[in-house]
Amino acid sequence: MTTMRSLLVRALLAPALLAPVALIPAAAQAETVPQLVAVRADRHPGVDRLVFEFRNGLPPTRIAEYVPKLIADGSGHTVPVPGAAKLALRFFDARGHNEAGGSTYGAKRRTYALPGVIQVVNTGDWEATLSFGVGLAKKVPYRMYTLTKPSRIVVDFTVNYRTVPVKAYFLDLPREPKLKAVSRPVVPPSTAHGALQRLFAGPTAAEQAAGLRFVSSGATGYSKLTVTNKVARVYLTGKPKSGGATFTIANHLNATLKQFPTVKWVKIYDAAGKTQRPGGNSDSIPESLEP
């Protein structure tokens, strides 16, 4: 039987047991979690190096694996990223946002003009799990390791293959509606595929600062490219629409593909596999891309 004295002891001890938890503010707890402050990628001898820099130490658990597609944490939606291979990275007990929800490391999607790394995109930042996807020109061996002072997670991608330069054509805003060509390294012999991967990755941060843009018109990528009898056929994914604009993704595709001597005409298909003039020697766009 519970005595009056035991009830009194429990009542006196309860506040003391609860007090330590109540006295730690949520903001103070968050300050101890590793926080991503920078993402960088650059070329080094034999490797493309991707670096994630943190404050408050390093995430204790890190996972990297090649995947057929990138999935957004929480929503489960596919996250588009250009490239022949996709690497998923997950950092546990880490975050990349501040108390207001803003990014602490900059752009969540960034493009690089490197032989291997094409694009890095954030795929999740919730419940103390920070996720990224890397679009690569080729599936290659990689090594993930850590460095300190400052705290960094490094991923080195082996780049021991040959590349050739091609052009990707972007909208030059200071001279709109003109296009400007930028050079990109791609893996032969699939140079047309490589050019489209680089096109859909868009301009680098430096090129964006100079006024270059990629007008996707609602397309998220392409599912197939064929070139036969000097006719290139591009099958878009997503929901391409002109929105009444005269400049669309078709301008980018035509200029980028016609740089190759094997291409004279470009036929662009929507996600349903439709274009206005599928036969004959002529350019063609789906009806949805008409102004």
CATH number at residue 119: 2.60.40.3500
Q: What is the DSSP string of 235-290?
A: EEEE----TT-S--HHHHHHHHHTTSTT-SEEEEE-TTS--S--SSSS-B--GGG-
Pairing of strands 164-172, 179-186: antiparallel
Tokens of 194: 């490589």
144/191 same-domain check = no
Q: In the prediction, which pLDDT does 21 show? A: 39
Could you tell me if residue 257 is inside a domain? yes
Cβ–Cβ < 8 Å for 219, 237: yes
- Where a domain ends, among 125, 158, 191? 158
122/174 same-domain check = no
Select from 63, 52, 60 the least CA-distant residue to 147: 52
148/169 same-domain check = no
Cβ–Cβ < 8 Å for 269, 236: yes
120/189 same-domain check = no
Beta bridge partners of 226: 233
168/282 same-domain check = yes
- Where a domain ends, among 132, 158, 184? 158
Q: What is the DSSP string of 131-159?
A: EEEEEESS---EEEEEETTTEEEEEEEE-
Vertex 92 angle, CA 86 and 93, to 5°: 150
75/51 same-domain check = yes
Q: In the prediction, which pLDDT does 176 show? A: 78
Tokens of 22: 């109540």
271/183 same-domain check = yes
Could you tell me if residue 190 is inside a domain? yes
183/278 same-domain check = yes
Could you tell me if residue 5 is inside a domain? no
Could you tell me if residue 7 is inside a domain? no
CA 39 centroid distance within chain: 12
Phi then psi dihedrals of residue 198, to 5 deg: -70, -35
3-class DSSP state of 48: strand
Torsion sign over Cα 196, 202, 203, 205 = negative
Could you tell me if residue 269 is inside a domain? yes
C-alpha to C-alpha distance for 217 and 249, rounded to whole angstroms: 6
Select from 78, 247, 94 the least CA-distant residue to 169: 247
Cβ–Cβ < 8 Å for 151, 54: yes
177/150 same-domain check = no
Q: 206 is in which domain, residue-wise?
A: 164-289
- Where a domain ends, among 127, 158, 189? 158
Low-confidence ranges of the chain (pLDDT < 50): 1-28
Select from 198, 261, 194 the least CA-distant residue to 225: 194
Q: In the prediction, which pLDDT does 10 show? A: 45
Radius of gyration of the chain (CA): 25
Residue-wise pLDDT for 139-192, tens only, equals 999 999 999 999 999 999 999 999 999 999 999 998 878 999 999 999 999 999
Let me know if 175 is exposed, middle or buried by CB neighbors in 10 A (0-12, 13-18, 19+): exposed
- Number of domains into which the chain is organized: 2
Could you tell me if residue 11 is inside a domain? no
Q: In the prediction, which pLDDT does 9 show? A: 37
Could you tell me if residue 276 is inside a domain? yes
Cβ–Cβ < 8 Å for 72, 124: yes
